[in-house]
Amino acid sequence: MGEHVLLIGMMGAGKTTTGLAVARLMRRPFHDSDAEILARTGLTVPEIFERHGEAAFRAEERGVLASALSSGRPSVIAVAGGAIFHPDSRQRVRQGGVVVWLRARPRTLANRVGSGAGRPLLEHDPAETMARLDSYRRPVYRSLADVVVDVDGRSRQAVAETAWRCAVGWLAARSELLGDEARRLRVVDRAWP
């Protein structure tokens, strides 16, 4: 089992912002999927979708995730929203360290992504698309998460501090536990009771 902190969740959940802040707090390198795809290909997400299609984008996504996970130092990784739908990537995420799901209500996500600019999946009716994506992605995020942090109604700073506290606590607790016990360890930090 790895020592990375992996942030998962929907578009608009705040993976990049939270990841940067957690990486700073932990003094770790930060890997962000979309930024690394841009660095690797010289193309933005919409450009890849337009020129090469979604399948090519998903292949890039898998590639940057695999290389972030195999980088020598324990890192903080913002995992692309769709990356975990490939079984190999899901397995890598599961074994990579502590998986933190930034959970948000569909309405919160829709408000945050607005018109969906820069996100090709949201070109048509972003709110409806987000709700549909959320309904089938949510069970997968839930099943992968070691830590669940609610985003709704919290400031960016509060989300980052909560994610950091829970991730560090989880990693410390896991090192004290063995096998199945460690696998069942789960932290849920709700914004509301």
> By the criterion CB under 6 A, which residues form the site for ligand S3P?
11, 15-16, 33-34, 45, 80-82, 119-121
Which C-beta is closer to ligand S3P: that of 11 or that of 151? 11
- Residue with Cβ nearer ligand S3P (35 or 177): 35
- Pure H helices in the chain: 15-26, 33-41, 45-52, 54-70, 87-96, 106-113, 126-144, 156-176, 179-184
Read off the tokens for 54. 């979604």
Q: CB of 155: closest distance to ligand S3P in angstroms?
A: 19
**Residue whose beta carbon is closest to ligand S3P:** 81
Question: Residue 33 and residue 12: Cα distance in Å, rounded?
Answer: 14
Between 83 and 171, name the residue whose CB sits nearer to ligand S3P. Answer: 83
Question: Least distance in Å: CB of 5 to ligand S3P?
Answer: 16
Nearest distance from residue 66's CB to ligand S3P, in Å? Answer: 16
Q: Which is nearer to ligand S3P, 15 or 174 (CB)?
A: 15
SS3 of residue 99 by DSSP = strand
Helix (H, G, I), strand (E, B) or coil at 8: strand
In this structure, what DSSP letter does residue 86 have? S
| Length of the chain as a residue count | 193
d(CA 21, CA 157): 8
- Tell me the backbone φ, ψ of residue 149, rounded to 5 degrees: -120, 120
Kindly tell me which of 81 and 97 has the beta carbon lying closer to ligand S3P. Answer: 81
- The least CB distance from residue 101 to ligand S3P, in Å, is 13
Q: Nearest distance from residue 175's CB to ligand S3P, in Å?
A: 30
